[in-house]
Amino acid sequence: MNYFQFLTGISVLMTAVSATKMSACTNSTGIYPNVTYSVNSYVCEATPCTCTLGCPSLISVDFYAPRYLEKIKPKIHAACMGVGLDYPLGQADACAGINNTQCPIVQNEKVHYEYSLNILPIFPEVTVTLTFSIIDEELNEDVVCFEWDIEVKRTTCPE
């Protein structure tokens, strides 16, 4: 491989990890991580993200642990038209979604967390604000927190 191919390889890798621009949570001590939200492997670059009911979507999160973490749990809160609900995640332990290291996490350790979110057909075709956090159960405090809007559609999955 020559130098040019090497550089091209790097730029391909860098496009592959493009992130989704979301918002930090207004009322949270959680840090705003690097996050990518994709629907059927199509990366949503700007919100609102179109979210087709029944399509597999993936929340991918990278952050450096702000402190030692032993018991952490994920949470998604969904709000639309003045109604809010905690979205059923079926994952009690966020450590199960971390694939680059194991719990407990030491301070400053890099963490890669993923969660496959399937939007249940309980939503009408509206805009829903999702708030995702990973909660430190020892302190009952957010470790990371971010929010973004999705536009729920009943169409076919994006390619």
Ligand X SMILES: *[C@@H]1O[C@H](CO)[C@@H](O)[C@H](O)[C@H]1NC(C)=O
In order of 76, 113, 124, 142, 145, the CA distances from 133 in angstroms are 7, 12, 24, 6, 4
Would you count residue 63 as binding ligand X (CB under 6 A)? yes
Query: Binders of ligand X among 18-47, rule CB under 6 A?
Result: 27, 34
Would you count residue 50 as binding ligand X (CB under 6 A)? no
Would you count residue 110 as binding ligand X (CB under 6 A)? yes
Would you count residue 99 as binding ligand X (CB under 6 A)? yes
**Shortest reach from residue 124's CB to ligand X, in Å:** 25
Would you count residue 77 as binding ligand X (CB under 6 A)? no
Q: Which is nearer to ligand X, 112 or 153 (CB)?
A: 112
How far apart are the C-alpha atoms of 139 and 66, rounded to whole Å? 13
How far apart are the C-alpha atoms of 152 and 129, rounded to whole Å? 11
Q: Which is nearer to ligand X, 93 or 125 (CB)?
A: 93
Which residue among 71, 75, 77, 112 contacts ligand X (CB under 6 A)?
A: 112
Cα 54 → chain centroid:
18
How far apart are the C-alpha atoms of 146 and 20, rounded to whole Å? 11
- Decide if 28 contacts 73 (C-beta within 8 A): no
Chain contacts with ligand X (rule: CB under 6 A) = 27, 34, 62-64, 99-100, 110, 112, 114
